[in-house]
Amino acid sequence: MRHGFKAQAERLSLELRAEQSLTASCKLLPRVFLASIGITIWEPKEIPGIDHAHVIQLTETDPDSWSGCTIKENGHTAIIINPTHPITRQANTLMHEWSHIKLRHKPNRVDRSPNGLLLLSDYPKDIEDEADWLAGALLLPREGILQSRKQGLTAERIAQHYGVSKDLTNWRLRMTGVNKQVSASRRY
């Protein structure tokens, strides 16, 4: 990750939330947010021209091999989401994909489907780390989870409030230093 990126992502999260009339303690609804900025969300069965066999492969045969992807065609952007994943994971996936778009990340590889759709894939690890961090900051802003922890809320309650997984919440609490900060303040 680039030097200073984590702080930049936290600021961007708060700016974006302010544009959406949300504070750090408000739940961000990824589907509502993405629709408000003109990004379409599709499940595999909704992709124009997709073969039914591909839908079966993606949703029944091998649903654990993917979470989401972004396609761009004729100036329009769509995020394809795995509908077999829990809604909490879908929230993170949607914001992860949006993070790639917002940060103008360039994939290692670009493919075209047989019917001409542009498929973006295969980002380097440092780019994936940035998208993970920004998605987490958008869904669970440090300022908001710090307030929640100071109020004595558990990771599970914080996850429920923000509509995300407990795993993502624990990761943010740990990686942002919020758990250490709250623990240290309680000792004094």
Domain ranges of the chain: 5-182
**What is the phi/psi pair of residue 168, to 5°?**
-65, -40
Beta bridge partners of 80: 42, 69
Would you say residue 20 has pLDDT above 70? Answer: yes
HSE-up of residue 10 (Cα within 13 Å, Cβ side): 12
Q: Compute the distance between CA of residue 159 and CA of residue 161 in angstroms, rounded to an integer.
A: 5
Residue 119 has pLDDT above 70, yes or no: no
Q: How confident is residue 73, by pLDDT bands cut at 50, 70 and 90?
A: confident
Q: How confident is the model at residue 118 (pLDDT cuts 50, 70, 90)?
A: very low
The whole-number pLDDT of residue 112 equals 61
The pLDDT assigned to 95 comes to: 98
pLDDT exceeds 70 at position 67: yes
Average pLDDT of the chain is 90
Average confidence (pLDDT) over 175-180: 96
Q: What is the pLDDT at residue 114?
A: 61
Q: Average of pLDDT values for 142-166?
A: 97
Grade residue 185 by pLDDT with cuts at 50, 70 and 90: confident
DSSP 3-state of 6: helix
Backbone angles phi, psi at 150, to 5 degrees: -65, -25
Q: Does the pLDDT of residue 183 top 80, yes or no?
A: yes
pLDDT value of position 71: 85
Please choose, from the candidates 86, 85, 96, the residue with its C-alpha nearest in 3D space to the C-alpha of residue 62.
85
Residue 2 has pLDDT above 90, yes or no: no
Q: What is the pLDDT of residue 151?
A: 96
pLDDT tens track for 81-112:
999 999 999 999 999 999 999 998 776 665 66
Question: Which two tokens mark 165?
Answer: 């997984």
Residue 108 and residue 137: Cα distance in Å, rounded? 25
**Across 175-187, average pLDDT:** 89
What CA–CA distance (Å, rounded) separates 140 from 13? Answer: 9
Element (H, E) at 154: none
Query: Given this model, what pLDDT does residue 4 score?
Result: 93
The first and second tokens of residue 110, run together, are 């670009």
Neighbours of 137 (CB within 10 A): 26
Look at residue 113 in the predicted model and tell me its pLDDT: 60
Q: Are 167 and 96 in contact (CB under 8 A)?
A: no
